[in-house]
Structure 1
Amino acid sequence: MSATRVSSGGPWEQRYGYCRAVRTGDRIVTAGCTSTVDGAVAHRGDPYAQTATAIAIGLDALAKLGAGPESVIRTRMYVVDIDAHADAVGTAHAAAFGAAPPAATMVQVARLIDPDLLVEIELEAWLGEEG
């Protein structure tokens, strides 16, 4: 089965040899999405805004491959300080997915690729038939 890939032009994609999202058949997965815009961390210190931006970047990649937010079936949220930021991250996640929430996992990690990043999110979408 062949795969279709999209890039967001993020600073680490070419450097580390990955793309933003891959579609194979009815399944689309994203790489970890952060609040990195034009090569710089956006919304330093704001976990809600970083989460909203990371999800928007992921959803943009999914849209390029034919999926909308309602097609997202799973997310994984990696948070550097879950005690301090779980509510902000979770609230931004809920706002992004509204009435069609995906299965979700939130875990704490020691740190992300840039010390100013507070959250990284992966999205997985399914375009097949319901059932």
Structure 2
Amino acid sequence: MAGVDGRHGRLFRDQEEKLSTVTPHTRLRHSGKRGDDANDGTGQRTTDRSAAVRYGEGDPYEQTKVAFGNALEALKELGLGIESVIRTRMYLSHVRDVDEAGRAHKELFDSVRPVSTLLVVEGFVDPRILVEVELEAFRGA
């Protein structure tokens, strides 16, 4: 579901999935008026837009590439590209996957060098998910 909160100039796109009804969340958020310097954020996992198809099961490198690919696609909806990315976050369910996730991140973001945080978490709602990512972009970066 996509929507606009006109009072605050926010655009959001929710993913159609069961979790959205339990813990409402947004997969893409734009704050500010179009054309203004504004922060844009997206959080993604390794599914298609319907959240029905999972990619890279058991492969943290592939899951990282797919999740960031989904995030970058979402930013395109706001007219932003990889050069606008200023911060990334990677959440991993296993410390053993740090090198593979880091390799995927470097391949994607080496040219723009965003601030990056990597966290190892207890796990995700779906145990097949090894990686979730977030990125922030700045219009005018």
State TM-score, norm by structure 1: 0.87
Of 17, 25, 32, which residue of structure 1 is paired with 2:24? 17
Contact 1:76 1:123 in 2 (8 A): yes
Q: Aligned partner of 2:80: which letter?
A: A
Q: 1:5-44 maps to which residues of 2 (within 5 A)?
A: 5-7=12-14, 9-12=15-18, 14-15=20-21, 16-25=23-32, 26-31=38-43, 33-37=44-48, 38=50, 39-44=52-57
Give the share of equivalent positions with the same residue, in percent. 35
Name the counterpart of 2:86: 73
DSSP 3-state at the match of 2:71 = helix
For 1:97 and 1:14, the matched residues in 2 are separated by: 29
Q: Which residue of 2 aligns with 1:53?
A: 66
Q: Distance in 1 between matches of 2:56 and 2:128?
A: 9
Please state how far the C-alpha of 1:17 moved relative to its aligned partner: 2.2
Please list every run of 5 or more consecutive structure 1 residues that lacks an aligned counterpart in the other structure.
none
The total of aligned residue pairs comes to 126
Runs of 4 or more consecutive aligned structure 1 residues displaced over 3 Å after TM superposition: none
2:122 is the counterpart of 1:116: no
Q: Which amino acid aligns with 1:104?
A: S
Q: SS at the partner of 1:36?
A: coil
> Does the residue aligned with 1:41 lie in a helix, a strand or coil?
coil
Query: For the residues of structure 2 that align with 1:35 and 1:68, how far apart are their CA atoms?
Result: 20
**Contact in 2 for aligned 1:77/1:107 (Cα 8 Å):** yes
Please, what is the CA RMSD of the aligned residues? 1.6
- Larger Cα Rg: Structure 1 or Structure 2? 2
- 8 Å CA contact 1:67–1:127 kept in 2: the answer is yes
Deviations 1:45-73 (A, max 9, x none): 10000000000111111110121011010
Q: Distance in 2 between matches of 1:12 and 1:101?
A: 35
Q: Which has the higher contact order (CA 8 A, sep 6+)?
A: 1
Equivalent residues in 2 for 1:70-109, closer than 5 Å: 70-82=83-95, 84-109=96-121
